[in-house]
Structure 1
Amino acid sequence: MPFIAGPAPAPLPAELLSKLSRVSFPTLGHYLEEGFADFGIRRLTGTARVVGRAVTVRITGQDSTVLHHAAGWCEPGDVFVIDTGGDTRHAPVGEVLAATLSIRGAAGVIVDGVVTDLDEVEPFGLPVYARGSSVLTTKLLSLDAGGMNVPVVCGGVTVNPGDVVLADRNGVFFASVAVVEAIVDTALADDAEEPELVAELRGGARLGDLTGASEAVAGFGAS
């Protein structure tokens, strides 16, 4: 299939970004089941939490021509989400690509595949997530294939350009703005209650009593 370039996604709402900078990402997992990348994609460089809009790139096998082109259009706060088409041998991201994205202000890179040059990328501070590392890299083969700002699959999740991307050492999450806006206030409220919950546990309270789980268990088998 020939190369496809979709329109640049809209910026994420400033108020939503502010809320996401404060929320605990795993709290979202209390309420949602979809959008969580499989655990094989882990943070390999950087320490900062990732919050940003998805810029999606689909490459073809060994060819990273499309990715090099797309990197030049990176804007501050973008998270590059790279679909390698299932290739876990060739690394499309290394020192030069990471330098480009870092200089242009990317918030992070998520690769459903492998990356390279970990020692050289680490000083940039750019959070890079991938399935592992390799010394075998992609090439500039100039194939008329792949896409930029098109739907991709990363970690088993379909990601659309402009989706919210959240990532930290726990894992990676993708969702539409609408999905995240519908749940973020509830998640923030939960986060605000947790210190009090922990304080009660330190005081001797039982977790099941505080959460209602023990009451539910007491009713098991009752009819």
Structure 2
Amino acid sequence: MIAPAEIVERLARVDCCALSDALDRLRIKGAVTHLPQRSGAGRIAGIAVTFRVAPGDPPPGPARHLGTTAIEASDSLSIIVVEQRSGVEAGCWGGLLTRGAINRGVVGVVADGPVRDIDEARELGFPIFTNKTTSFTARGRVVDQGTNIDVSIGDLTVSPGDYIVADNSAVIVVKPADVERVLAAAEDIAAREAAMIKSIEAGIPISEVMGGNYEHMLTEPMK
């Protein structure tokens, strides 16, 4: 059993295209391709803390602003994953939440739904991946429907504790039960591609480099 911190560290070294290829090799669904990086720079990897935003009544108990419970449940391995697919244009994340997340050591945010104050996140260098930005406040429009529950991004369900990797190609979601074999396959694919890069740089014709070995990368693990 590999410790979660070590898994996150290794995932962070593998780009999302290699991880997507690994998922294809293993016939596992886990890539979302329409959540571009809007702030911060570079790949992020971590463990999902989730919350959902929608119109209606908040859960029972003292009133809390959306996202604050998720931030307080997070640590330096956490990526906060937000579902705001209500159809109401209202921010599910904003500048004060970004500052609270930075203070907590949160790695970044992945949001399926509108995010506001994106310029502030850019100034702070905080990574946010989202399909929409807005100026509209959540106040009077949507509320936090629950933290660390299953949420949807794209056509995937993200559960708290899932592993998340995001870069400018995709957001990858890997279940804990699958992560070791997905990681091993992705590292194998990345190693093969690194060897191919060396061959190209050595002057070997690209048609030779990207021949049978490349075509079989998804079916034949490196021996």
Q: TM-score, normalised by structure 1?
A: 0.80
The letter of the residue matching 1:114 is P
Are 1:117 and 2:117 an aligned pair? Answer: yes
User: Which residue of structure 2 aligns with residue 87 of structure 1?
Assistant: 87
CA deviation after TM superposition for structure 1 residue 89, in Å: 1.4
CA distance in 1, matches of 2:74, 2:127: 15
1:130 is paired with a residue whose SS is strand
Contact 1:56 1:148 in 2 (8 A): yes
| Deviation of 1:67 (Å) | 1.9
Alpha-carbon distance in structure 2 between the residues aligned to 1:40 and 1:204: 34
From 43, 46, 67, give the equivalent of 2:40.
46
Moved more, 200-209 or 96-105: 200-209
1:19 to 6, 10, 27: 10
Cα distance in 1 for residues equivalent to 2:20 and 2:214: 19
Q: 1:88 to 1:48 in 2, by over 3 A?
A: farther
Number of residue equivalences: 202
Across the aligned residues of Structure 1 and Structure 2, the Cα RMSD in angstroms comes to 2.6
Letter matched to residue 204 of structure 2: G
* Conserved? CA contact 2:48–2:159, under 8 Å: yes
Gaps of 5+ in 2: 59-63, 217-223
Q: 2:52 aligns with which of 55, 58, 65?
A: 58
Residue 212 of structure 1: how far off its partner (Å) = 6.6
| Alpha-carbon shift at residue 205 of structure 1 (Å) | 4.8
- What letter corresponds to residue 203 of structure 1 in structure 2? I
Identity of aligned residues (%): 25
Residues 200 and 70 of structure 1: is their aligned pair in 2 closer, same or farther, counting only changes over 3 Å?
Answer: closer
Q: Partner of 2:86: helix, strand, or coil?
A: coil
The answer to which of 160-169 and 119-128 deviates more is 119-128
Q: Which secondary structure state, in structure 2, belongs to the residue aligned with residue 32 of structure 1?
A: helix
Q: What do residues 18-38 of structure 1 show as CA deviations (whole Å, max 9, x unaligned)?
A: 32122222112113251112x
The alpha carbon displacement at 1:142 in A equals 9.0
* Structure 1: runs of 5 or more not aligned: 1-11, 215-223
Q: Aligned pair in 2 of structure 1 residues 91, 209: CA closer, same or farther (>3 Å)?
A: same
- For 1:124 and 1:185, the matched residues in 2 are separated by 34
Matched, 1:209 2:211: yes
Report whether the alignment pairs 1:198 with 2:200: no
8 Å contact from structure 2 (residues 51, 145) kept in 1: yes
Q: Tell me the CA shift for residue 116 of structure 1.
A: 1.3
- C-alpha deviations, 1:170-198, integer Å up to 9, x for none? 11011112212112122212212223213
TM-score calculated relative to the size of structure 2:
0.80
- Alpha-carbon distance in structure 1 between the residues aligned to 2:212 and 2:107: 38
Once residues 75 and 213 of structure 1 are traced to their aligned partners in structure 2, the CA distance between those partners, rounded to angstroms, is 40
Change (3 A) 1:205 1:46: closer
Inter-CA distance 88–108: structure 2 relative to 1 (3 Å threshold): farther
Give the 3 Å change call, closer, same or farther, for CA 106–16 of structure 1 in structure 2. same
- The answer to whether the 8 Å contact 1:150/1:160 transfers is yes
Query: Which residue is 2:221 aligned to?
Result: none
Residues 186, 32 of structure 1: CA spacing in aligned structure 2 closer, same or farther, 3 A cutoff? closer
Q: 1:108, 1:128 within 8 Å by CA — same for their partners in 2?
A: yes
